[in-house]
Amino acid sequence: MGGYILRRLLQAIPVFFGTTFLIYFMVFAMPGDPIIAMFGDKTPNPALVAQLRAQYHLDQPFIVQYFIYIGGIFRGDFGISYSGVPVGDILLRTFPVTLKLAVIALFFETVFGILVGLISGLRKGKLFDASSLVISLILISLPIFVIAFVGQYVFGVQLGWARTTVGPGAPVGDLILPALVLASISFAQIVRLTRSSVIETSSLDFVRTAYSKGLSRNRIVPVHILRNSLIPVVTYLATDFGVLLVGATVTEGIFNVPGVGNTLYQAIIRSEGPTVVSFVTVMVLLYLVVNLIVDLLYGLLDPRIRYVK
């Protein structure tokens, strides 16, 4: 087990170098000169341009820039954004906000998705099942910005239950509405996934055997049906948590959430190499860790999966 975790963490090293290099290269290869773009419509002052280039090491060859950047990371220095703020500070400011948003969204989609999916699966073909299928289909088909605007209008403007935009410091209360919007599509997916998984498990032989042992339905559903049905759902939740952490550009934009998605989007537009690469790198590492946790969780859910030392 310990050996397995160590091996997985060691695997993260080549992934780290690979992704940082690729992203850095792609930002470098983007058309347009970020320094010239800073001046907008004004005529750039050649001396100032040269100074800025030197400051951001843009006068060096690509490979040198990359190693200067990587060297900085190992000293805890993620570089300076073009607006003059250390990237490390931006990371520290935005990631907690997105993490909060992601955890709230994950909580809603997991609890309600599995609950609705389980009931649907157990009552296949009944009214509850039919309605949950229709509702989940609608949620899946709608683009997220539509759900976001509708939610903002109904709950924020008409009913006044929530604030339409997230206030400074991103308090948890303000994040609930955007989190619900963010969770809606995944919720629908989890409902469908849980439902089909429950239906499949219910028809398996060992469930019939469990009944033949004289067990009650109240015991069989959680012990023999739900637990076995959760394995594919956990896979989905893992990838989804990764997606949520990466930030939801559209939702964060609509609700003005000062999170990762919003910030990264701005950085990409401005070709800010250090910012983009730092954000993506942190995301990749987070993704790796989440995946590792999920793989370990599998072993707990399904004893057939055991990790060889």
> Would you tell me how many other CB atoms lie within 10 Å of the CB of residue 227?
13
Does residue 234 touch another protein according to CB under 8 A? no
Site string for another protein, 244-283 (x = CB under 8 A): ----------------------------------------
Q: How far apart are CA 239 and CA 114, in angstroms?
A: 16
Under 8 Å between Cβ of 250 and 264: no
Q: Is 308 in the site for another protein (CB under 8 A)?
A: yes
Say if CB 91 and CB 285 are below 8 A apart: no
**CB of 177 within 8 A of CB of 166?**
no
Nearer residue to another protein within complex by CB, 109 or 195? 195
CB of 63 to another protein, least distance (A): 40
Q: Does 208 bind another protein (CB under 8 A)?
A: yes
Residue from 2, 40, 76, 303 that binds another protein (CB under 8 A)?
Answer: 303
31: left (phi over 0), alpha (psi -120 to 50) or beta: beta
Select the span of 177-185, 247-255, 273-281, 299-307 touching another protein (CB under 8 A).
299-307
Q: Which token pair is 121?
A: 């699966």
Q: What's the min distance (Å) between Cβ of 294 and another protein?
A: 16
Q: Is 192 in the site for another protein (CB under 8 A)?
A: no
**Residue among 154, 219, 222, 293 that touches another protein (CB under 8 A):** 219
- Judged by CB under 8 A, which of 118, 210, 233, 277 binds another protein? 210
Query: 234 near 302, Cβ under 8 Å?
Result: no
Q: How far is the CB of 10 from another protein (least distance, A)?
A: 18
Could you tell me the sign of the dihedral formed by the alpha carbons of 191, 196, 197, 202, in that order?
Answer: positive
Residue from the set 120, 224, 271, 278 that interacts with another protein by CB under 8 A? 224
- Asked if residue 125 binds another protein (CB under 8 A), the reply is no
What are the two backbone dihedrals, phi and then psi, of residue 80, each rounded to the nearest 5 degrees? Answer: -115, 135
Residue of 68, 99, 215, 296 interacting with another protein (CB under 8 A): 215
Q: Is 223 in the site for another protein (CB under 8 A)?
A: yes
Closest approach, Cβ 215 to another protein, in A, equals 5
Query: Residue 308 Cβ, how far from another protein at the closest point, in Å?
Result: 5
Residue with the two structure tokens 């604030």: 163
Q: Does 296 bind another protein (CB under 8 A)?
A: no
> Which DSSP string do the residues of 31-93 spell out, in sequence order?
SS-HHHHHTTTSPP-HHHHHHHHHHTTTTS-HHHHHHHHHHHHHTT---B-TTS-BHHHHHHH
DSSP H or E stretch at residue 94: helix 87-122
Q: Which residues bind another protein (CB under 8 A)?
A: 203-206, 208-217, 219, 223-224, 227-228, 301-304, 308-309
